[in-house]
């Protein structure tokens, strides 16, 4: 990939991020007026409402509010929460690691298991293993995440009580160090398993389709003609080439899953970005919602850019 191509891709990502920044400001003012929501707060007197409105600059013109929003965001100041007055960046920073645990571990596991399942199914197309793996993947792929999470709770936390039904740690527990780590890990198994199963199905289906396409290429026939064994053909030629489209899907999905774990975290009461989103919606906490939208959008854009650059590195034919 040339330097010009890299610069163009980075510039395109930056333009998209600017659009998101502008759209983010007007979106949450189109769905409601923050001043009206403050006025409905039973805990604030009229004088208190006016003081809060003035403090937050909501009495100023839309143009002034927009300018302050842009300049503060560029400085890393996302405002303060309507619900508790804490800085939004601190609220997001507290919830982000919990979501990254689910998404990161789930994506790694799905990226290892899903393509392997798809490779086995595609290599044995039409046989029993293909039917079993493909049909199982299709069932998982069509199953909503919240339903899959509830099913796992019913099977592995209620009917067969191996894991907790939810939360991040045992309520009232005072464990520290490794004891706390294992407690959190025990609670994280079911939500991580939910993320993993929901992702690996798509990876498996894509990998199977890619393997079948690669098997019809001329270089596969050539590899077999020169005497390479089936295992050598698969390892040297089929898998590396079939993985290229799957790498794109994995990269794109990682950014999207960050914004799509709301239902999973709600089912398991996991204190991440998804649960924070639900709480902010219920409280009409516009600054937190703005911060969440900006953060998840930025992550999707960044991972799309990284995936694009990685794919161009893996396949130089599309570098320009």
**pLDDT (average), residues 24-47:** 67
pLDDT at residue 25 in the model? 85
DSSP reduced 3-state for 80: strand
Beta bridge partners of 80: 87
Separation of alpha carbons 265 and 270, rounded Å: 5
pLDDT digits (tens, 9 = 90+) for 232-267: 888 888 888 888 888 878 877 776 676 668 889 889
Higher-scoring residue by pLDDT: 58, 297: 297
Q: How confident is the model at residue 51 (pLDDT cuts 50, 70, 90)?
A: confident
Domains of the chain by range and CATH?
3-74 (no CATH), 90-318 (1.10.3720.10)
Nearest to 217 by CA among 231, 200, 238: 238
Percent of the chain clearing pLDDT 70 (strictly above): 88
Q: What is the DSSP letter of 318?
A: G
Residue 159: pLDDT over 90: yes
pLDDT for 181-240, tens place per residue? 898 999 999 999 999 998 888 899 999 999 999 988 888 888 888 888 888 888 888 888
Question: How far is the C-alpha of 272 from the C-alpha of 172, rounded, in Å?
Answer: 20
pLDDT score of 299: 85
Question: What pLDDT is recorded for position 316?
Answer: 59
Residues 6+ apart with CB under 8 A from 211: 118, 119, 121, 122, 123, 238, 239, 242
**Mean of pLDDT values over 2-10:** 83
- Helix 62-74 vs helix 3-30: crossing angle, to nearest 10: 140
- At residue 157, the pLDDT reads 93
CA distance 108 to 257: 13
176 vs 167, 231, 239, CA distance in Å? Answer: 17, 49, 44
What b/e readout covers 85-95, taking b as 16+ CB neighbours within 10 angstroms?
A: eebbeebbeeb
Quick: pLDDT tens for 81-138. Answer: 877 888 999 999 999 899 989 988 998 999 999 999 999 999 999 899 999 999 999 8
């Amino acid at each position: 990939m040339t330097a010009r191509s890299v610069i163009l891709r980075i510039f395109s990502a930056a333009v998209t991020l600017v659009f998101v920044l502008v759209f983010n400001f007007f979106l949450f003012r189109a769905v409601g007026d923050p001043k009206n929501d403050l006025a409905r707060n039973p805990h604030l007197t009229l004088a208190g409402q006016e003081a809060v409105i003035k403090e937050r600059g909501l009495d100023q013109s839309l143009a002034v509010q927009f300018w302050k929003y842009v300049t503060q965001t560029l400085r890393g100041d996302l405002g303060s929460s309507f619900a508790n007055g804490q800085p939004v960046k601190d609220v997001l920073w507290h919830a982000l690691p919990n979501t990254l645990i689910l998404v990161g571990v789930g994506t790694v596991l799905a990226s290892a298991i899903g393509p392997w399942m798809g490779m086995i199914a595609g290599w044995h197309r039409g046989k029993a293993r293909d039917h079993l793996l493909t049909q199982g993947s299709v069932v998982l792929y069509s199953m909503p995440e919240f339903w899959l999470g509830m099913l796992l709770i019913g099977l592995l936390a209620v009917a067969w009580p191996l894991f907790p039904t939810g939360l991040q740690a045992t309520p009232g527990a005072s464990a520290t160090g490794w004891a706390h780590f294992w407690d959190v890990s025990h609670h994280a198994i079911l939500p991580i398993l939910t993320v993993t199963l929901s992702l690996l199905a798509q990876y498996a289906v894509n990998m199977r389709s890619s393997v079948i396409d690669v098997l019809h290429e001329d270089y596969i026939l050539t590899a077999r003609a020169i005497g390479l064994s089936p295992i050598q053909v698969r390892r040297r030629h089929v898998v590396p080439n079939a993985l290229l489209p799957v790498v794109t899907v994995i990269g794109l999905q990682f950014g999207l899953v960050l914004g799509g774990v709301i239902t999973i975290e709600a089912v398991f009461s996991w204190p991440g970005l998804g649960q924070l989103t639900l709480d902010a919606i219920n409280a009409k906490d516009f600054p937190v919602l703005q911060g969440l939208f900006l953060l998840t959008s930025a992550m999707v854009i960044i991972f799309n850019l990284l995936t694009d650059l990685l794919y161009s590195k893996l396949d130089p034919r599309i570098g320009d």
